[in-house]
Structure 1
Amino acid sequence: MTPQPRTPANRASADRLGRLLNLVPYLLARPGIRVAEAAADLGVTERQLREDLELLWVCGLPGYGPGDLIDMAFDGDRVTITYDAGIDRPLRLTQDEALALVVALRMLAETPGTGNRDAIERALAKIEGAAGDLADAPVAVRLPVNAERLDAIRTAVAGGRALHLTYYTAARDETTERVVDPMRVLMVGARGYLEAWCRRAEATRLFRIDRIDAFTELAEPAAPPARAVPHDLTGGVFHPGGDLPLVTVRVGRGGRWITEYYPVEDVRRDGDGWVVAMRVTDLGWAQRLLLGLGADVTVLGPPELVDRIRAQAATALDQYAAPHPAPPPAAR
């Protein structure tokens, strides 16, 4: 992989990101500092610093409403941070954090079809430079199974034959067998998908490449019917419609990441937490997700999901309450 050359625009964006990450703690330590003095310390013009401050005003925590965004007060040409959104100290990575980032970026660089590889290479080079000898730790990241499976699926689709799939459906936590008529292979983000007409569902479906446990090329040619319309993926893979179940939960700080990771319909602040509404394709999937969040989430609806989670939690507690037979004495 050959890194793309760094353009002036790329360098400016990277420099600005680093400056923004350190700007809030810098200003917190100097309440009421003059803008001109701060600009001189940071090596930028007053105009650039004011543009940075305007950008910080729309940055903050999930929810992005009053009380979530970074806030500041101006008194003439002086500025004071009044809410830091948790960015209260300069960015410093521990050794474990730096190594984790290096591994994650190396994995991302090895993922087939990943876009913006030049940005990944630049970020990786910066972190490896900052990590020093730690970056030379014997950690090799390769994704041969994903890459080989992706290439094999592409070859099979190019052959124009129907496929028999053994496919794992995460939403229902089950493995199924199905025959499909391939249409195309595509990348969405870092994931590869096979788009095909599914004869079992009698509809066009997207199959994640990493969830295809096995496939066999059949003798018959692929023949998607005329009604097999490709998906519109401009907004991503999942397009929640109003016919899907609406799940409402209250999460604390430890669970607010779901508002960034999954499409949500509504997020509103509620005391020291957030009330989140999101559409899901399957309540079983929502049940497993929310149980995994533990005490940091309270399920508000729908009633069916509340009852299912309550029952499963009670069953788990009963397992702890039941006495276990004592182990047999050790042989002498």
Structure 2
Amino acid sequence: MSRSRQQVVRMLALVPYLQGNDGVPVNEVAAEFGVTPKVIRDDLRLLMYTGTGEYAGELIDFDLTALEQDGIVHIRDAEFMTRPLRISAREGIALIVALRTLRASASGLEVDVIDSALAKLESAVGDTVSASVDVLLDKVDPAIHGTIVEALTGRKRLALTYATASRDERSDRDVDPKRLFTEQGKLYLEAYCLKVEDMRFFRLDRIVSADVLAVDAEDHDDAPRDLSEGFFTVGEETPFVVVDLHPKAHWLTEYYQVDLVSQDDDGIWRAKIYGADWSWLRRLVLRNAGSVSVIEPDTLRSQVVDDARLALQAYSDDVVPKES
């Protein structure tokens, strides 16, 4: 289970525990939940922003003076947790769509839990829904899907054979899986690829085979990419760089937002690559030095050359990179 999921599960259990043990020392709480007192303190600070509204009495509160000075936990204003939650028809429909989307990427026991929640929501919403809502995802091999879920649940490394459409070839690689998610009707696996030593996205419909290895997945301290604003969202202000992609860099079109401009007979693809900011784009080009040539903007091109020059000077003062 990921650390963020562990935190959510722990905080859901914290509130009823603290309501039944008011005035408990924070050290006892930490021991009860198998974490450090600092983790519990951080959980409590986050819980203070949790509730059904934004005003006093609608948010969970704690006696911070007692917590900080005496190490004692006093919970307040959490009575709303025992009241049945009322949601509007619109909120119910939104939850139904979200659960159906989640179900499309679920497997095993998760499906039964989601189906149970869906049945209750659909019964509660009733005839207020004028038409059924279906969530359609590209079909993937259920055996591969199940293997990936097994690896995620057991925190095991995966051996994948992946088909790269842009190069019409397959590659074998070992990955440490992070999470499954859906975007634009497709299922993706986010994982740390040991072959390239970086985080990558893998479309499940392009995974040819997957095997769980008898090796624990490592924690590479890479935070999952924030997809709250959309996986491939491009706006008028989104930074982009125009580059020439040599054959070894064609794989970039599989993992990032790229608009192909042209392709020549020598296998050079001219493309726009979009990124969150200019520093990320600069690092991406530098990591693929020799396979990616910056065409524009000139400012980024100059920065890449300067960074490459400084890096090479660490090896030899006589080596100077050519403008490319």
TM range (shorter): 0.3 to 0.5
**TM-score (normalizing by structure 1):** 0.33
Structure with higher RCO (Cα < 8 A, 6+ apart): 1
